[in-house]
């Protein structure tokens, strides 16, 4: 049956009338929008502007892209980027499979799953600084908890952890990766668990009828069902890993000790601004950091998110 | 006041007048009244009880009360922040307040950098107009308060409110256990090396592993400077135009790195990760015999409030000294005035009060373990007399090197990182110094 003409014709209300009808919603949005402008948009724009100047006393002098040229020729900055990427990749490579396994196991628990969820999630709601302080005690080479346990188990040559700047499975980078995994695991598990619970049970029942075993069901039903969740975790996980600061600062001090093995881009930016007093150069670091995150997000969008949004 | 000191003060004031052109330009210093805000760092906000000693503590508001009783026309507002760390550290807060002109007076560890940026008032201008001003600070404190500003290459940029004190600590109990002669009051590098080596190993009395030496890997620069200066190294100079010449890659510094590597053999393996004194310091659990250039100050109140046994065990010697008789990091509380301060004359009264009033100096000692900087300051801390090495502690600041202007800048981190790499064995001492020099030179060529 054809629709009556009135149902197919455009809404007779004008845009202005629609705004007037829902003005209260715009009013409610106004205050947070102003705060967003003041504390996010304006500082971001100002960082771009500052990065093009240098200070001579209290006067700003336009220097164009000089700070960017300087940074791209600065081995300390390049190393900080490499270190950030390395720590981020190590974190995601460990935390994603681990949280997937744990969430799958928890999903199979019929009773008392809530205490597990709470325990795994607790580090997520604890201060990163407090966690870093505790891990500082755990990873101290001479009197830390971990090496004390290893010595009691008869290990004579205990690892140096935070005193070892080399790329090693028992060095400073390994220690902060363990910390990051411990801290982030609960969040990943909870999000994946939520995703698992959206996969229709019917599919598993049908697969069982067709003779699929648990591994085949997991491979062909669970994983495809989790795809949007995993993409979300990868994208946000990369951004979080790039912005890592507090725990590295607490364990490595202002210089990312030992020997800058724990220095990240954000630590470099902080050190440039507040340890060396060069806000303009630090702003250029912030802009490059912004561009890197933007690029990663764009690539992720192109590779994963667009496909998800167009297929759903 | 000695005639020579008075003459020196007059000369200082005259130099200040000439160099700053104060008379010719008649700078507007604003009124001598009104509100003066001060940023202070690390004091108690309120009166309370010390968690470790159980003794009453006095909040920073005490200084406001003291000041306003003497200067009723000036309203002193103290903004007290913790030292903090990372994004909540004092550095970003200081920067924010300076940018926003939020205070007139700052306790400012990075004062040399702010002075270079033209953000601090040249205090010589105020000294010149103050007929009552006298150099009442101990030793070279006032002379060492000079730094470079865009208008004056040799400006007084801060007044020294208090002094931290970094000394060489040693554990008399461990020396006795090992049968080693006590450390002398003025130890040399050779003496420390020899005794550290003798006390590294299994303690013959307790059976515990002992270490002869200690270094803080995360904050290595100061101990290394002290060691290097004792071996004849000098970091460089401040040039007439305010630039710095810094020389890390020299034979003297190379010898110092080799010596540090030798001494590090007598320290715990994990010292490279350390950001504080060794675990167990000031307790019966201590296993480190010698700690050169220790943390500033805090041990003083711990020992004063401790037991006789504790005071007899944890002893103090002077820092290592160079051929010029000086050595170790100068750690004065640097009180500066912002160039943007609208009422500089009022702020000047506050600045003098915070850096020279005996009651304030007493407060700094009682509440923070910081030493007085004024002449006769020893009388303000009678409690110190209970320590067997009170005189060494009280007089150490007089032998410290002038404040390193790069102490809060890139050269410090360049050197420190290179030293860590050398200690970890990822670089040779030669390459480490070359890297530190290259990074420092690159920064010096374009510090802003």
Encode pLDDT of B207-257 as tens digits: 999 999 999 998 899 999 999 999 999 999 988 887 889 999 999 999 999
Domain boundaries, chain B: 3-164+329-399, 168-328+409-445
Determine which of B172-176, B234-238, B258-262 has the lowest per-residue pLDDT on average.
B234-238
Average pLDDT over residues A116-128: 89
In eight-state DSSP terms, residue B36 is E
Those of residues 400-419 in B touching chain A at CB distance below 8 A are 408-410, 413, 416-417
Q: pLDDT digit string (tens) for A232-246?
A: 999 899 999 999 998
Confidence check: pLDDT of B23 > 50: no
Q: Which residues of B are less than 8 Å from A54 in CB distance?
A: 448
Report the gap between the CA of B113 and the closest CA in chain A (Å): 7
**Where is B331: in which H helix or E strand?**
none
- % of chain A surpassing 70 pLDDT: 95
Examine residue A88 and state whether it is found in any structural domain, yes or no. yes
By Cβ distance, the residue of A259, A275, A280 closest to B408 is A275
Structure tokens that stand for B290 in this block: 């010698």
A260 touches chain B (CB under 8 A): yes
- State the total domains in chain A: 2
Who has greater pLDDT, A195 or B242?
A195
Residue A295 within any structural domain of the chain: yes
A43 and A191 assigned to the same domain: no
Residue B426 contacts A where some CB pair is shorter than 8 Å: yes
pLDDT band at B200 (very low <50, low <70, confident <90, very high): very high
Q: Which residue has the higher pLDDT, A202 or B241?
A: A202
User: What does the pLDDT read at residue A9?
Assistant: 54
pLDDT band at A4 (very low <50, low <70, confident <90, very high): low
- pLDDT at B49 exceeding the cut of 50: yes
Phi, psi of A73 (to 5 degrees): -105, 10
Q: Do both A185 and A296 map to the same domain?
A: yes
Written as six digits, the tokens of B218 are: 């995360």
Say what percent of chain B tops pLDDT 90.
70
Residue ranges making up the domain that contains A227? 71-311
pLDDT score recorded for residue B421: 96
A166 shares a domain with A56: no
Cross-chain residue pair B95–A58, CB shorter than 8 Å = no
Flag if B424 and A164 touch (Cβ within 8 Å): yes
Is residue A236 assigned to a domain? yes
Name the band, by pLDDT with cuts 50, 70 and 90, for residue A310: low
Task: Mark whether A58 and A100 lie in a shared domain.
Answer: no
A42 and A122 housed in the same domain: no
Query: Is A1's pLDDT higher than 70?
Result: no
Distance (Å, rounded) from C-alpha A272 to C-alpha A259? Answer: 17
Overall average pLDDT of the B264-276 stretch: 93
Model ipTM value: 0.83
Q: Are residues A60 and A88 in the same domain?
A: no
Tell me the sheet residues that pair with B314.
Answer: B171
Give A56-102 pLDDT, tens digit per residue: 877 899 999 999 999 999 999 999 999 999 999 999 999 999 999 99
pLDDT of residue A31: 92
Q: What span, in angstroms and rounded, lies between the C-alpha atoms of B294 and B311?
A: 16
A286 in any annotated domain:
yes
CB contact under 8 A, A140 and B270: yes
Is there a single domain that holds both residue A278 and residue A181? yes
CA distances from A139 to A2, A173, B257, B382 (A): 74, 12, 27, 42
Query: Are the beta carbons of B226 and B293 closer than 8 angstroms?
Result: yes
Separation in Å, CA of B219 to nearest CA in chain A: 8
Q: Would you call B269 and A273 a contact, using CB atoms and an 8 Å cutoff?
A: no
Instruction: Tell me the CATH number at A95.
Output: 1.10.3720.10
pLDDT of B12 over the 60 cut: no
Fold of B3-164+329-399: D-Maltodextrin-Binding Protein; domain 2 (3.40.190)
Do B271 and A163 lie within an 8 Å CB cutoff? yes
Topology of domain B168-328+409-445, per CATH? D-Maltodextrin-Binding Protein; domain 2 (3.40.190)
Whether residues B114 and A129 touch (CB distance < 8 A) is answered with no
Q: Which of residues 149-188 of A touch B (CB under 8 A)?
A: 160-166, 172
The pLDDT score that the predictor gives to residue A309 is: 67
More confident residue, B360 or B151: B360
Better-scored residue on pLDDT, A303 or B375: B375
Contact list in A for residue B409 (CB cut-off 8 A) is: 275-277
Taking the C-alpha atoms of residue B138 and residue B376, their distance in angstroms, rounded to an integer, is: 8
Chain B residues in contact with A268 (beta carbon < 8 A): none
Q: How confident is the model at residue B24 (pLDDT cuts 50, 70, 90)?
A: very low
What is the token pair recorded at A237? 């996980």
In A, which residues are within 8 Å of B86 by CB distance? 129, 245-246, 249-250, 270
């Amino acid at each position: 049956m054809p629709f009556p003409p009135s149902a197919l014709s455009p809404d007779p209300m004008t845009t202005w009338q629609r705004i007037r009808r829902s003005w209260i919603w715009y009013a409610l949005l106004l205050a947070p929008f102003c705060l967003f402008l003041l504390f996010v948009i304006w500082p971001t724009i100002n960082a771009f502007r500052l990065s093009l100047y240098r200070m001579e006393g209290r006067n700003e002098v336009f220097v164009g892209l000089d700070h960017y040229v300087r940074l791209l020729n600065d081995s300390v900055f390049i190393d900080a980027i490499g270190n950030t990427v390395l720590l981020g990749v190590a974190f995601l490579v460990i935390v994603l499979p681990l949280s997937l396994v744990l969430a799958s196991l928890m999903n199979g628990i019929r009773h008392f799953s809530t205490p597990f969820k709470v325990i795994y999630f607790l580090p997520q709601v604890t201060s990163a600084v407090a966690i870093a302080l505790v891990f500082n005690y755990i990873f101290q080479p001479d009197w830390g908890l971990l090496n004390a346990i290893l010595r009691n188990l008869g290990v004579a040559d205990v690892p140096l952890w935070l005193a070892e700047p080399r790329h090693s499975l028992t060095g400073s980078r390994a220690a902060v990766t363990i910390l990051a995994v411990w801290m982030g695991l609960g969040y990943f598990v909870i999000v994946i668990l939520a995703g698992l619970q959206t996969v229709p049970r019917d599919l598993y029942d049908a697969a069982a009828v067709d003779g699929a075993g648990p591994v085949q069901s997991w491979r062909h039903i669970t994983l495809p069902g989790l795809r949007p969740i995993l993409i979300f975790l990868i994208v946000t996980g990369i951004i979080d890993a790039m912005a890592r600061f507090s725990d590295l600062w607490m364990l490595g001090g202002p210089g990312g000790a030992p020997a800058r093995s724990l220095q990240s881009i954000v630590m470099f930016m902080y050190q440039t601004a507040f340890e060396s007093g060069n806000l303009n150069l630090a702003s250029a670091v912030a802009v490059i950091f912004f561009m890197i995150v933007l690029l990663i997000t764009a690539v992720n969008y192109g590779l994963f998110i667009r496909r998800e949004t167009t297929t759903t | 006041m000695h005639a020579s000191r008075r003459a020196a003060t007059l000369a200082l004031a005259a130099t200040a007048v000439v160099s700053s052109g104060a008379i010719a330009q008649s700078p507007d210093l604003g009124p001598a009244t009104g509100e003066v805000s001060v940023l202070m760092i690390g004091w108690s906000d309120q009166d309370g009880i010390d968690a470790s000693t159980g003794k009453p503590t006095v909040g920073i508001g005490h200084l406001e009360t003291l000041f306003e009783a003497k200067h009723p026309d000036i309203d002193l507002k103290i903004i007290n922040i913790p030292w903090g760390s990372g994004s909540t550290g004092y550095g970003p807060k200081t920067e924010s307040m300076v940018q926003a002109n939020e205070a007139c007076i700052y306790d400012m560890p990075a004062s040399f950098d702010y002075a270079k940026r033209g953000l601090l008032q040249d205090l010589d201008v105020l000294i010149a107009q103050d007929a009552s001003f006298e150099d009442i600070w101990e030793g070279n404190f006032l002379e060492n308060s000079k730094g470079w500003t865009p208008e004056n290459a040799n400006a007084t940029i801060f007044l020294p409110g208090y002094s931290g004190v970094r000394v060489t600590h040693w554990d008399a109990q461990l020396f006795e256990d090992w049968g080693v002669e006590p450390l002398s009051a003025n130890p040399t590098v050779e003496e420390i090396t020899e005794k550290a080596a003798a006390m590294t190993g299994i303690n013959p009395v307790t059976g515990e592993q002992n270490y002869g030496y200690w270094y803080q890997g995360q904050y290595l620069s100061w101990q290394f400077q002290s060691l290097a200066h004792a071996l004849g190294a000098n970091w460089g100079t401040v040039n007439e135009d305010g630039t710095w010449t810094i020389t890390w890659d020299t034979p003297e510094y190379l010898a110092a790195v080799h010596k540090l590597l030798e001494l590090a053999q007598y320290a715990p393996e994990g010292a490279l990760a350390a950001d504080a004194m060794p675990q167990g310091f000031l307790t019966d659990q201590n296993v480190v015999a010698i700690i050169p250039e220790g943390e500033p100050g805090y041990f003083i109140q711990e020992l004063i409030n401790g037991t006789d046994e504790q005071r007899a065990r944890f002893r103090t010697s002077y820092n290592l000294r160079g051929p010029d008789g000086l050595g170790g990091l100068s750690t004065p509380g640097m009180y500066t005035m912002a160039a943007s301060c609208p009422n500089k004359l009022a702020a000047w009264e506050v600045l003098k009060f915070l850096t020279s009033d005996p009651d304030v100096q007493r407060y700094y000692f009682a509440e923070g373990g910081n030493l007085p900087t004024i002449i006769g300051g020893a009388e303000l801390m009678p409690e110190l007399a209970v320590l067997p090495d009170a005189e060494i502690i009280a007089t150490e600041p007089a032998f410290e090197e002038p404040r390193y202007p790069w102490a809060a800048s890139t050269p410090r981190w360049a050197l420190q990182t290179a030293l860590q790499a050398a200690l970890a064995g990822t670089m040779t001492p030669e390459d480490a110094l070359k890297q530190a020099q290259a990074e420092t030179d690159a920064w010096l060529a374009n510090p802003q």
